[in-house]
Chains A and B, each alone.
Chain A
Amino acid sequence: MILIFSEDNEIAFEILSKARELAESSGSELASISFGGGENAHVAFGASRVFSIQPRDSSIMPSLQADTAVEVISGLIDQYRPETLLIGSTKLGREVAPRIAQQLGVGCATDCIDFSLDREQLIVKRFVLGGRFISTQKFLRKPQIATVPPKKFEKKINGSRKGEIIIIKTSLKPSGTGVQVVETKKKAAQELKIEDANIIVSAGRGIKKKEDLRLIEELAQVTGSAVGCSRSIAADLKWLSEEHWIGLSGHKVKPKLYIAIGISGQVQHIAGIRDSRTIVAINNDPNAPIFKACDYGMVGDLYDIVPKLVAILKKS
């Protein structure tokens, strides 16, 4: 059995769609865990069995804690012995996966970008060494536990698929960890989820003053894009919030079009934009590494090029 878990249904559907291919090529059963509904959609995206986790003594689903998720998933592993467990790489998922692996004394590979299954042997690919290299790895023991980043795989729905839904009522209160949640403060509605943008205009250290970000914002406006930035703009200068930071330690994005302005193209930044369909770069240094990682490049002063570009795009 291949078992899928993500508390975020969208990510669960993406993983299910990919895992469906693996399940068919290897003849494995594909099952998923749902917290908080959407069981039929789990089936349509590929699960032939859905474990629907519901609270025992209340109709309200509490917010899921890692401790609870670990307990529930470990229980299912005990009972059903899946050979592979794929977990969505959210903050919760990245905590849950290694904890289960540690309990069972098996391997855990995080942020896997590709999978293949040879009989029951899972082989994964993931970025290593600062995003410069791709490592191919296999698991030595079972269950094989891997986490999958959001937006890595296309969702593929098949509404006519049939599946079994198993309702599991549980207290959803973890036993004896000693951690107590006192308060939950909702984050201010994020004006931006940069991963969702189709086009991103991104600013780097070539911008001399904070006020000059206006140039980038104008270009973003005429192109209907989100504004991103490199590490220095977000982390060192703090001209933009971390929501805009693109790179290995910031957000990893895969827009249709990425326009890098005044970004030299350090390998950590490239690691965050590698999956973009088209990359355009403007930089005054002809030797900047970004020109080796872009589709279209233009050497020149961004203070000269960007206003001209905005003017042309406004007209058309």
Chain B
Amino acid sequence: MTYARKIELTDGSVVVERDIEKAYEVATAKLPVLVTVTKEINEPRIPTLLQILGASKKKIQDISPLKPDAGIETLSILAVDMKRKEVMLKDVETLAKIIIAEKQGEK
């Protein structure tokens, strides 16, 4: 079940509210179930100072990375070239003129 914004666990099944394109859809499924969630699912709590200090003592388990076969080969990764004019303006009148010109240009 994808795009869950609310999850409720009841006896042996789950009720989720899904955020789909034009509606919210309430759906149920029996456990076990795989659910992916959206940003609205939870507000993360801010840890207390003690918890932050305590975190440094927790053991971190390293897992060697899997080598997934994605079926895709990357040929190149290039920085995005932003070709922008970068003209700095001094007065609001010029700025207004540019906005008016652009606004007319869009029609």
Contact = CB atoms under 8 A, between A and B. Distances in A.
B26 A138 contact: no
A75 to B, nearest CB: 21
A167 to B, nearest CB: 26
10 contacts: A66-B2, A107-B72, A129-B77, A139-B73, A141-B71, A180-B28, A199-B102, A235-B39, A313-B100, A316-B96
A295 B80 contact: no
A284 interface: no
Interface of A: 8, 66, 90-92, 95, 101, 105-109, 123, 127-129, 131-141, 177-187, 198-199, 223-224, 235, 242, 249, 256-257, 259, 270, 274, 277-280, 282, 291-299, 305, 308-309, 312-313, 316
A275 B18 CA distance: 30
Interface of A is mostly: mixed
Interface residues on B, range: 35 or more
Nearest to B98: A296
B22 interface: yes
Contacts of A280: 95, 98-99, 102
B75 A138 contact: yes
Contacts of A136: 74-78
From A90, A109, A180, A224, name the one whose CB has the most chain B CB atoms within 10 angstroms. Answer: A180
A106 B72 CA distance: 8
A181 B77 contact: no
Given A139-B73, A279-B84, A294-B84, 13 more contacts: A109-B72, A138-B72, A139-B72, A179-B27, A184-B23, A199-B103, A199-B106, A257-B103, A257-B106, A277-B102, A293-B82, A296-B87, A316-B100
Contact of A178 (B25, B29, B93, B106): B29
B71 A106 contact: yes
B21 to A, nearest CB: 5
A298 B95 contact: yes
Contact of A313 (B77, B88, B99): B99
B55 interface: no
Nearest to A267: B80
A105 B20 CA distance: 27
